[in-house]
């Protein structure tokens, strides 16, 4: 228990403009215990969910895929008209946090908020905490239900103010979808576009296998481009498989030779059923993907 406590903390980050280059940003970080007060009640992240974030998996003190996460944070910030984060400053904050994490799986979150109402700057911080134990779900897989996301594949391009490609802090809808999945007796959800195509899960990307080809929904259809999906694709290519991005009709879900949800902290989980219909499981490849995802990756 006590060991656990020492691994929950935040580094508050004094934002430094992206153009300012320094060798050492340590004096722009203030470490606070996770239980200590750190945010103003005027925070727009808490009042409106107005900000962007990332969740990074940490294995035995090694933060995975830091640059892809920092690049997606910058992409989300641009879509939201937030100041683009100073990549080297954030990289050093992640390193400082990861260096304090011991053996096992942890999670570092990056948060960039609009700031305090009428305040001069955004608010930025990283948190570090132990990860939940996902061993059982990686072994047993998940039953999913499909849920209507309410927009078609063209919405992201037609209505950029919906921020569909940004990882914003507004996850109330994603959490409601998970509760609906549980009400229906499932473990997780897959969002469908209103025109009947597969999108993503509330906190994960989807990968389907058809023979020796793997496919995932194209990221321009109003979903996040997953860092884990990209990493898995690099691994599958190295193993000689074919990979691609497609428009995937919902009916393809149960036709697949195997299907996974993939994300930075839970890693790869096999989908075992969709809306009560069983889906083929590839246990050997699931184990291979998780062994790869647990190995140090940059």
Chain residues that interact with ligand PLP, rule: CB under 6 A: 55, 200, 202-205, 224, 226-229, 262-264
Tell me how far, at minimum, the Cβ of 202 lies from ligand PLP, in Å: 6
Q: Toward ligand PLP, which CB reaches closer, 22 or 78? A: 78
Residue 152 token pair: 């078609």
Q: Toward ligand PLP, which CB reaches closer, 206 or 273? A: 206
Q: Toward ligand PLP, which CB reaches closer, 123 or 269? A: 269
Answer for the pair 72, 20: CB distance below 8 angstroms, yes or no.
Answer: no
Tell me how far, at minimum, the Cβ of 117 lies from ligand PLP, in Å: 26
Tell me how far, at minimum, the Cβ of 109 lies from ligand PLP, in Å: 10
Q: Toward ligand PLP, which CB reaches closer, 126 or 204? A: 204
Q: Toward ligand PLP, which CB reaches closer, 29 or 233? A: 233
Q: Toward ligand PLP, which CB reaches closer, 71 or 88? A: 71
Q: Toward ligand PLP, which CB reaches closer, 188 or 200? A: 200
Tell me how far, at minimum, the Cβ of 196 lies from ligand PLP, in Å: 19
Tell me how far, at minimum, the Cβ of 15 lies from ligand PLP, in Å: 23
Tell me how far, at minimum, the Cβ of 164 lies from ligand PLP, in Å: 10
Answer for the pair 272, 142: CB distance below 8 angstroms, yes or no.
Answer: yes
Tell me how far, at minimum, the Cβ of 133 lies from ligand PLP, in Å: 18
């Amino acid at each position: 228990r006590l060991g656990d406590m020492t691994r929950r903390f935040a580094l508050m980050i004094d934002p430094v403009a992206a153009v300012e280059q320094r060798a050492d940003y340590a004096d722009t970080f203030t470490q606070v215990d996770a239980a200590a007060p750190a945010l103003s009640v005027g925070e727009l992240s808490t009042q409106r969910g107005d900000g962007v974030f990332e969740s990074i998996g940490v294995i035995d003190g090694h933060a995975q895929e830091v640059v892809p996460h920092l690049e997606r944070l910058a992409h989300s910030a641009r879509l939201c008209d937030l100041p683009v984060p100073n990549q080297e400053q954030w990289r050093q904050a992640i390193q400082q946090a990861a260096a304090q994490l011991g053996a096992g799986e942890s999670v570092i979150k990056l948060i960039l908020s609009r700031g305090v109402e009428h305040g001069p700057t955004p608010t930025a911080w990283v948190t570090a905490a132990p990860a939940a134990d996902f061993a059982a779900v990686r072994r047993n897989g998940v039953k999913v239900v499909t849920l209507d996301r309410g927009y078609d594949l063209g919405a992201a391009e037609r209505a950029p103010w919906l921020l569909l490609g940004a990882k914003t802090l507004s996850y109330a809808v994603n959490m409601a979808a998970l509760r609906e999945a549980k009400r229906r007796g499932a473990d997780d959800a897959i969002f469908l576009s209103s025109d009947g195509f597969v999108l993503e899960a509330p906190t994960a990307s989807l990968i389907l296998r058809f023979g020796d080809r793997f496919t995932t929904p194209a990221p321009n259809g109003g979903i996040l481009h997953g860092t884990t999906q990209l990493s898995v694709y690099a691994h599958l290519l190295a193993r000689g498989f074919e990979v691609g991005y497609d428009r995937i009709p919902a009916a393809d879900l149960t036709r697949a030779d195997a299907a996974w949800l993939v994300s930075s902290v839970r890693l790869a989980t096999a989908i075992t059923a969709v809306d009560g219909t069983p889906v083929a499981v590839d246990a050997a490849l699931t184990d291979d993907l998780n062994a790869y995802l647990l190995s140090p990756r940059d």
